[in-house]
Amino acid sequence: MKLKYFLFALTALLAMASCKSQYETVLNSNDADLKFKTAFEYFDQEKYGKAAAVFESLSVLTDGTERDDTVRYYWGLSNYRFKDYYTAETNFDKFIESYPRSPFTSDARFLRIDCLYRSTLRYELDQTPTYKAINAISEYVLEYPDNTHMQECRDMLLDLNGRLDLKAYESARLYYRMEDYLAARVALRNVLKDDSDNMYREDILYYIAMSSYNYAANSIPSKRRERYLTFIDDYYNFIGEMPDSRYRRELDNVYNKAQKALGRNVSESADHEMTERDFAKERRKLLREERKSKKN
């Protein structure tokens, strides 16, 4: 029995050595036809790591020949299938520059941007690769408006822009979580100033209002009135834009607390409704009180 296992193991080792020997022989050969044939055999067998290595060594021999664009494209494609996206992107970028009119160029362009997309990082990390991918995808869409990958490009852009929106929002909200409410309000307002279409706009407006309320509530008595008025302005901005928000009930309750702090009589209901006329009236009243407060 032991002899049987020994012979089996020996046969397997010899087979592996034979394969390795064949691979290394091809890799070190100067026979372009042999390399070309073997590279595609590895590719068809989904042995993409070996295929990439053989195509790379073959590219030295085919440089300047009619086979060169095929070899260089499949070199990049092998790395792509091997999930070595950084190397594949470099391959495709050089290929596009060298062969702008090759029949493989359109596919190489898309695969390059797909490599860039796959190489981007989580929103918490450096977003330089994200900006690079967005620029490449946008250029591709403009250059190939009828391409068959349009929906994939849209999905990539949506995801990447969403990642940037989330990073901006979370970076500003960090001040709120640190209870630095003045800095939070400034940072959150700057997010919307830089990008009014931020996909987290509702959350940002909510935290702007909550930042101004908490800042007022934690202020010294002489500063509270002015700061509660700032919160009320932020509150009106929020409900004027998003009256049916999931944050509405909470902000209505906070609004009632601010009104009581200002010595006003308010409804205890957190669901009070304001007509457009009432809203405009309250805004005018608020502005008058702000001017009076600043004057005093």
Q: Which amino acid is at 106?
A: S
Q: What's residue 287's pLDDT?
A: 64
Token pair 């101004």 in the structure block, residue: 212
User: 209 with 243, same domain?
Assistant: yes
Instruction: Report yes or no on 258 lying in a domain.
Output: yes
Instruction: Report yes or no on 172 lying in a domain.
Output: no
Instruction: Report yes or no on 188 lying in a domain.
Output: yes
pLDDT tens track for 106-133: 999 999 999 999 999 999 999 999 999 9
Instruction: Report yes or no on 92 lying in a domain.
Output: yes
Phi, psi of 246 (to 5 degrees): -70, -15
User: 80 with 131, same domain?
Assistant: yes
User: 135 with 259, same domain?
Assistant: no
CATH number of the CATH domain containing 246: 1.25.40.10
Domain end (from 108, 139, 164): 164
Contact 207/188 with Cβ under 8 angstroms?
yes
Q: Give me the domain span that covers residue 219.
A: 181-295
Taking alpha carbons only, the member of 239, 229, 250 closest to residue 274 is 239
C-alpha neighbours within 13 Å on the C-beta side of residue 90: 5
Contact 226/287 with Cβ under 8 angstroms?
no
Does residue 277 have a pLDDT over 60? no
Angstrom distance (rounded) from CA 240 to CA 181 = 23
pLDDT tens track for 66-106: 999 999 999 999 999 999 999 999 999 999 999 999 999 99
Instruction: Report yes or no on 13 lying in a domain.
Output: no
DSSP result, 5-67: HHHHHHHHHHHHHHHHHHHHHHHT---HHHHHHHHHHHHHTT-HHHHHHHHHHHHHHHTTSTT
User: 160 with 99, same domain?
Assistant: yes
Report in angstroms the alpha-carbon separations of 80 from 68, 109, 156. Answer: 18, 13, 17
pLDDT tens track for 5-64: 444 454 554 455 455 578 888 888 889 899 999 999 999 999 999 999 999 999 999 998
Average pLDDT, the chain: 88
User: 46 with 158, same domain?
Assistant: yes
Using a 10 angstrom Cβ sphere, with 0-12 exposed, 13-18 middle and 19 or more buried, the burial of residue 102 is: middle
pTM given for the model: 0.77
- Largest Cα separation within the chain, whole Å, is 102
Domain count, the chain: 2
Instruction: Report yes or no on 176 lying in a domain.
Output: no
Using a 10 angstrom Cβ sphere, with 0-12 exposed, 13-18 middle and 19 or more buried, the burial of residue 229 is: buried
Instruction: Report yes or no on 1 lying in a domain.
Output: no
